[in-house]
Every structure is written in structure tokens, then in C-alpha cells.
């Protein structure tokens, strides 16, 4: 079990007010949602994996959507918030006295080199976000403000040095993330069997972002 999913399951086990059966149900959801996707997982699948009656799921959680929004999302938000503080510090350290290209290369390398099994957990959200705006918004609300504010402060510094275009920070960050998200979509959803050259990916993605945000493009 990958580190991220294991952390999520540990959070479930430590959450107050959950009976052993409820914990088993949520554990099953974490595994099934990440391997099959939310839409492709039925309450029958969850009941079988948790070794409980399907009626037990309805009794404790009501619907499959409640399992996602009322239980797993809040737990996941806690995990992301904790990790975000460390991420902000790393981003700031990488940006200090460094040109924008080096900062972008740092972000891209961390993103591309992340263990592939880590992205199995993204199946809880990724496919759903492609088709459901509400779920996309729910996921966006999980991104901690400290992380966003830290990134925006870094972008402001590069704008002051005229290394990037003077666009609103949300637009700049959306541009960066759309490129990285598109790369993940290509490799983990659309063309999963494609052989990868990650070092080349890092170079191309970095150049794409840097050139796209160059002041000369304004």
C-alpha cells in the first residue's frame, strides 16, 4: 500500500466516533476508489471488501457520495494541510536567489518524479473532476490557503524582478498547473502504456512553462 493511502487509512483509524465496522467500510472505500475510481465502485463492492452487509453502509453513511464528501474528503484535507506547510517551505527555499527557470524546474521535477503508485490515489478524484464540476470545486477547497499564499508570494517576487508576465497570480498558477495536470492526464489516464523519458519530460515541461510566462509574451 502506497504511503499516501496508508496515511489516509491511519487517519481513519484515529478518527473519533467511528466503530470498527465504520472504519472497515472507509478503509475499503479508500482502496476501491483509488483502484477502480469513484463512479466504478458500487456499494456492493464496498460491502464485500469491508465484509459487511450492504445495508450497514446505508445505515451509517446513507449514500456513496456521503462516504466521499462527509468522511474521506475531510480526512484527506487534514493530510494535505499538514504536507502543505512543508511544501511551501521547500518552494520558498528553491526560489530564494534563484532564476524563475530553476524554480519551475524544481516544481516540475518534484511532480514528474513522484512515485507512480502515488497517483493511484488520484483516481479517487481525477476521473470525477473531468466530468463533475461540483466534485472539482470540492477538491479545490481542500488546497490549503497557506500553500496558495506562499506560492503567490513567490510569484510576486518574480514579477517584481520582471522575470515573468504581470498577470494575476491565480492566472499564472492555473497556467502552470494546467500543464502539469495535462501531463498526468496523458500518462495516467489516456495513454498509460506509453514509455516515458522523465528527464526529457522535465526539460520540455519546464521550457513550456517558462516560455509561456516570459515577459516577452505579454
Secondary structure of 69-82 in the HEC alphabet?
HHHHHHHHHHHHHH
Domain ranges of the chain: 3-217
Name the DSSP class of 38.
S
Q: Is the pLDDT of residue 4 over 50?
A: yes
For the stretch 71-109, pLDDT in tens is 666 666 666 666 666 666 777 776 677 899 988 998 888
Given a contact cutoff of 8 angstroms between Cβ atoms, the answer to whether 70 and 81 are in contact is no
pLDDT at res. 1 = 47
Q: Decide if 12 contacts 26 (C-beta within 8 A).
A: yes
pLDDT digits (tens, 9 = 90+) for 134-190: 666 666 666 667 778 888 988 999 999 999 999 999 999 889 988 988 887 776 666
pLDDT for position 110: 77
All 3 cell numbers of residue 8? 489516509
Residue 125 pLDDT class (50, 70, 90 cuts): low
Residue 47 has pLDDT above 90, yes or no: yes
Question: Model confidence over 200-212: pLDDT tens digits?
Answer: 989 999 999 999 9
Residue 105: Cβ-neighbour burial (10 angstroms; 0-12, 13-18, 19+): buried
State the pLDDT at residue 156: 94
Instruction: Among 3.40.50.1440, 1.10.357.10, 3.40.50.300, 3.30.1050.10, name the CATH number for the domain at 3-217.
Output: 1.10.357.10
Residues 6+ apart with CB under 8 A from 46: 25, 28, 29, 32, 57, 64, 67
- For 200, other C-beta atoms within 10 Å of its C-beta total 9
Identify the CA nearest to 144 among candidates 218, 217, 53, 83: 83
Q: What is the mean predicted confidence (pLDDT) over 35-43?
A: 83
Amino acid at each position: 500500500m502506497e504511503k499516501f493511502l496508508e496515511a489516509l487509512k491511519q487517519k481513519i483509524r484515529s478518527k473519533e466516533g467511528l466503530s470498527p465496522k465504520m472504519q472497515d467500510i472507509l478503509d475499503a472505500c479508500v482502496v476501491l476508489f483509488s483502484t477502480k475510481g469513484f463512479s466504478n465502485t458500487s456499494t456492493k463492492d464496498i460491502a464485500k471488501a469491508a465484509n459487511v452487509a450492504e445495508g450497514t453502509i446505508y445505515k451509517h453513511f446513507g449514500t456513496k457520495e456521503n462516504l466521499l464528501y462527509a468522511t474521506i474528503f475531510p480526512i484527506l484535507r487534514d493530510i494535505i494541510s499538514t504536507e502543505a506547510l512543508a511544501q511551501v517551505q521547500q518552494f520558498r527555499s528553491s526560489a530564494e536567489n534563484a532564476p524563475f527557470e530553476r524554480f519551475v524546474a524544481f516544481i516540475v521535477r518534484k511532480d514528474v518524479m513522484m512515485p507512480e503508485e502515488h497517483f493511484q490515489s488520484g483516481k479517487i478524484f481525477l476521473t470525477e473532476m473531468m466530468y463533475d464540476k461540483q466534485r472539482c470545486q470540492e477538491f479545490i477547497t481542500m488546497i490549503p490557503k497557506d500553500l496558495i499564499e506562499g506560492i503567490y508570494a513567490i510569484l510576486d517576487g518574480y514579477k517584481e524582478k520582471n522575470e515573468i508576465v504581470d498577470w494575476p497570480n491565480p492566472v499564472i498558477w492555473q497556467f502552470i498547473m494546467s500543464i502539469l495536470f495535462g501531463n498526468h492526464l496523458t500518462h495516467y489516464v489516456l495513454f498509460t502504456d506509453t514509455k516515458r523519458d522523465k528527464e526529457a519530460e522535465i526539460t520540455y515541461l519546464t521550457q513550456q512553462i517558462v516560455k509561456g510566462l516570459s515577459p516577452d509574451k505579454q
